[in-house]
Amino acid sequence: QTVVTQEPSFSVSPGGTVTLTCGLTSGSVSTTFYPSWYQQTPGQAPRTLIYSTNTRSSGVPDRFSGSILGNKAALTITGAQADDESDYYCLLYMSSGIWVFGGGTKLTVL
Amino acid sequence: QLQLQESGPGLVKPSETLSLTCTVSGGSISSYSYYWGWIRQPPGKGLEWIGSISYSGSTYYNPSLKSRVTISVDTSKNQFSLQLSSVTAADTAVYFCTVRGGCSGGNCSRARLWGQGTLVTVSS
């Protein structure tokens, strides 16, 4: 069974740039996996940041961007701010209508 | 502007069936070519996709839950529902209803929209 992988944790300095990745235990992520990214703070519903690999959801600042880097989907945050400290999840379309989340990355801004 | 709101019992006994409803406001559930679905999050853990139902009534379920899950739509009430049978403590989670656009050729027509979530505890 293919598992969606994410870094468990990451740290970035305020104003810095960080790239979170979303991969597969078997195979490469491409645009046909329709990668999407979600930000979640404790006690809140997730917020959609990116869908269809690189399309920003309405109201999402342009310092959040999505891409395919090598064999993984990637979320890059440019000019990190304190309130970017959150959990970030990726979601991939596998096939036959089935979607799978990654385990999430806890981002610390310090 | 579509909005989603979950409702249902916050406490379910083991072996019983969990039933939740998502009420759609800001538009008619039958007028969009969207996919209506459910995602859950156990306390302190990550997100898990449960399943979805398309505008045409096709259903798609997480293989690990497929034998216990039913998602349905009630267009007369502008709602869709989740039923999860034979629940155990492992089904204790915050349940989110969501809607997304159709996807093809590498693009989806809209971002996934989330309800605020509702906590369901399985306990006797």
DSSP letters for B18-72: EEEEEEEESS-TTSS-EEEEEEEE-TTS--EEEEEEETTS-EEE-TTTTTTEEEE
Name the residue in chain A with its Cα closest to that of B117. Answer: A45
A93, burial (CB in 10 Å: exposed 0-12, middle 13-18, buried 19+)? middle
- Calculate mean pLDDT across residues A90-101: 94
- Calculate mean pLDDT across residues A72-77: 98
CA B90 to CA B77: how far, in whole Å?
31
pLDDT at A103 over 90: yes
Per-residue pLDDT of A29-64, as tens digits, reads: 999 999 999 999 999 999 999 999 999 999 999 999
Looking at the partner chain, which of A46, A48, A53 has a beta carbon nearest the beta carbon of B47?
Answer: A46
Q: What is the nearest CA distance from B42 to chain A, expressed in angstroms? A: 12
pLDDT at B31 over 90: no
Q: What is the pLDDT of residue A31?
A: 96
Output DSSP code: residue A12. E
Q: What is the pLDDT of residue B107?
A: 86
**Arithmetic mean of pLDDT over chain B:** 95
- Other CB atoms closer than 10 Å to residue A102's CB: what's the count? 26
Q: Determine, for residues B49 and A100 on separate chains, whether the beta-carbon distance falls below 8 Å.
A: yes
Confidence bin at B106 (pLDDT 50/70/90)? confident
Q: What is the pLDDT of residue A56?
A: 97
Furthest C-alpha separation in chain A = 41
Looking at the partner chain, which of A31, A47, A99 has a beta carbon nearest the beta carbon of B49?
Answer: A99
**Selected residue of B53, B114, B118, B119 to mutate for chain A interface (largest A Cβ count, 10 A):** B114
pLDDT at B32 over 90: no
Alpha carbon separation from B111 to A8, B27, B96, B105 (Å, rounded)? 25, 16, 15, 16
Q: What is the pLDDT of residue A2?
A: 82
Q: Determine, for residues B60 and A96 on separate chains, whether the beta-carbon distance falls below 8 Å.
A: yes
Whether chain B has a CB inside 8 Å of the CB on A4: the answer is no
CA A78 to CA B61: how far, in whole Å?
36
Per-residue pLDDT of B44-87, as tens digits, reads: 999 999 999 998 899 999 999 999 999 999 999 999 999 999 99
Which chain B positions have a beta carbon within 8 Å of A93's beta carbon?
103
Q: Determine, for residues B47 and A57 on separate chains, whether the beta-carbon distance falls below 8 Å.
A: no
Confidence bin at A16 (pLDDT 50/70/90)? very high
Whether chain B has a CB inside 8 Å of the CB on A54: the answer is no
Whether chain B has a CB inside 8 Å of the CB on A98: the answer is yes
